[in-house]
A and B are shown apart, each in its own frame.
Chain A
Amino acid sequence: DAMVIQNPRYQVTQFGKPVTLSCSQTLNHNVMYWYQQKSSQAPKLLFHYYDKDFNNEADTPDNFQSRRPNTSFCFLDIRSPGLGDAAMYLCATSSWGGPFNEQYFGPGTRLTVT
């Protein structure tokens, strides 16, 4: 089945220790998004890739970086995690050019910072 996969599902890191979250997709979608979601809050868009074009949200901290080496994979790097970065990180994909550009989410990675 075509899907969006995120690894790991749960990640524990120490304060200040870099961490990388990964996302892969078999949908062949050209757009990939990274969201941060904290408890009882809306998913907050961090950045997205339209093909290889990177689009950063204005309020995304510099501590968050992303890489998309190919169509299928996208990575979220948190260079120096703080306690406030503990959250669910969601990867989503969409196929730009379709009538609705609906986004499909992966299962998420729950990040804990100790």
Chain B
Amino acid sequence: QKEVEQNSGPLSVPEGAIASLNCTYSDRGSQSFFWYRQYSGKSPELIMFIYSNGDKEDGRFTAQLNKASQYVSLLIRDSQPSDSATYLCAVNTGGGSNYKLTFGKGTLLTVNP
């Protein structure tokens, strides 16, 4: 059973702080890693993806990948109340026509004004 683990939270940070979200995965063969944001009652929205070890920055978001440790994280700088949502980590499994994503349960982030 290939697994993706996230701390369910809730993670509470003050406005303007850095929020750090973490994810570990069990499949050493995974190559692609995704972060989705999901507001309550809405569908997941892709915010970042990464496939190389190291950091990838996009605006206030930074994804970090360490394949040796099977660890991926998302940093949100200058957190805003509008960032309050559940953040889902997703990791690819399978290949070819059987390529698919396994999702973690998500971390609920609350940004307090």
Contacts and interface: CB of A to CB of B under 8 A. Distances in A.
22 contacts: A31-B99, A42-B4, A42-B88, A42-B103, A42-B106, A43-B44, A45-B101, A50-B97, A50-B99, A55-B98, A55-B100, A88-B43, A90-B44, A96-B97, A96-B99, A101-B92, A102-B34, A103-B34, A103-B46, A103-B101, A107-B43, A110-B41
Nearest to B106: A42
Interface residues of A, number: 25
A42 B105 contact: yes
Which residue among B4, B103, B104, B105 has the maximum number of chain A CB atoms within 10 Å of its CB?
Answer: B103
Interface of A: 31, 33, 40-43, 45, 48, 50, 53, 55, 88, 90, 96, 99-108, 110
B99 A104 contact: no
B106 to A, nearest CB: 7
A107 B16 CA distance: 29
Interface of B: 4, 8, 32, 34, 36, 41-46, 49, 51, 88, 90, 92, 97-106
A42 B103 CA distance: 6
Contacts of A104: 46
A88 B102 CA distance: 17
Contacts of A55: 97-98, 100
Contact of B105 (A33, A41, A50): A41
Given A40-B105, A108-B42, 13 more contacts: A31-B99, A43-B88, A45-B102, A50-B98, A55-B98, A90-B43, A100-B51, A101-B92, A102-B32, A103-B101, A105-B43, A106-B43, A110-B41
A101 B98 contact: no
